[in-house]
Amino acid sequence: MSDEPEIHGSCAPGFEAVRDAFEEGFRSRDEIGAATAVQVDGETVVDLWGGHADVAKTRPWQENTLVNVYSTTKGITAFCAHRLIDEGKLDLDERVATYWPEFAAAGKGAVPVRDLLSHRVGLPAVREPLPPEALYDWDAMVTALAAEEPWWTPGTQHGYHALTFGWLVGELVRRVSGKSLGSYFRETFAEPLGLDFHVGLAEAEHARAAEMTPIATPGEGEADAEAIEMGKAMLTEPEGMTARAFMNPPSMAAGVNIPEWRSAEIPGANGHGTARSLAALYGAAARNDGRVLSPEGIERARTEQSHGKDAVLFLSTRFGLGFMLSQDKVAASFGPSPGAFGHPGAGGSVGFADTERRVGFGYVMNRMGPRILLDDRALALIDAVYASL
């Protein structure tokens, strides 16, 4: 019997190169299970899935297999904030404390909403060690962050808020809308657009979730030098900002294949969804027809706010308001269009919109790659998409 995984789905004429790149991921890039989808001008031109949803390779990947997409969730969270801005309920230049009074503690009273969305607020981590259960306790996390003193003067530099972005922006959404981030996204985007994407996965849906591997040990030439540097810093400075950003609460080490993680709302890291849903959401944004955000909202979302050496990640990052933006560096590019915006996730998942080419893209997988930003598997797919346009 062949070890070649079965690939399912559809690929429009002219996009065969995307299918080839997807299959190549299984042949030469150690893919276990994955899915990718592409919309062009609102039409789905690629919708592929294959492989297995578990490491033991006993569960075939299904059309509706859900994947924990880590920081790709941040784009979902950002869309929610921008909808509230579009509706005039949230103001980028208003003080966070206007909506969330407790946030004014520790000298943060003048911090504007803009700094939260652009990773400039200086709260990538909580210094005081938190108990493991705090990771799944919304009130515990937002209370700790409201009380925290910034690691740098807000607005003076940027550093990736790996987990805290979700609680910070999610609490703003909750204070303004009266709904949790997961509920707001479901009612505002998922249900109207027919998206199978969840922030806080209902217990009845856990069986559909793919088993995620630990982050791969990098092979020769596979990891960014910055990823290696960051890993060393986390080991040698366990109380430092970068280590705290990823490992406080320490329950992050317990992994994501557990009910507590799947059920919680962690809007910086635990969205569960399909590539099809990412492509549909970003595809609607790419058409810029007002269904997701206003045209002004799209322009606002992708306007550069932060660019350069990241205080947390040890490499260059570039952010708009909640979304990551392309950089010239190949491993940080969403393709050739400079205005493309979206978000990658740890291990390899990514979703993005390109309004110039009217492309929405999604890729999800369960074998975690070692790169910090975009993974080789996603980059190969993105290259194939643009070669096919």
Q: Which residues are catalytic?
A: 71
CA distance linking residue 302 with residue 338, whole number of Å: 10
The torsion region of residue 88 among left (phi > 0), alpha (psi -120 to 50) and beta comes to left
| 94 close to 304: Cβ distance less than 8 angstroms | no
Q: Which residues, 6+ apart, have CB-to-CB distance to 252 below 8 Å? A: 135, 163, 246
Q: Which residues of 149-159 are buried (b: 16+ CB within 10 A; e: fewer)?
A: ebbbebbebbb
With 0-12 / 13-18 / 19 or more C-beta atoms within 10 angstroms meaning exposed / middle / buried, residue 317 is: buried
CA distance linking residue 135 with residue 269, whole number of Å: 11
Q: Which residues, 6+ apart, have CB-to-CB distance to 63 below 8 Å? A: 8, 9, 49
**One-character DSSP codes across 209-222:** BPPPPPPPPP-TTT
Preceding omega of 249 cis (within 30 degrees of 0):
yes
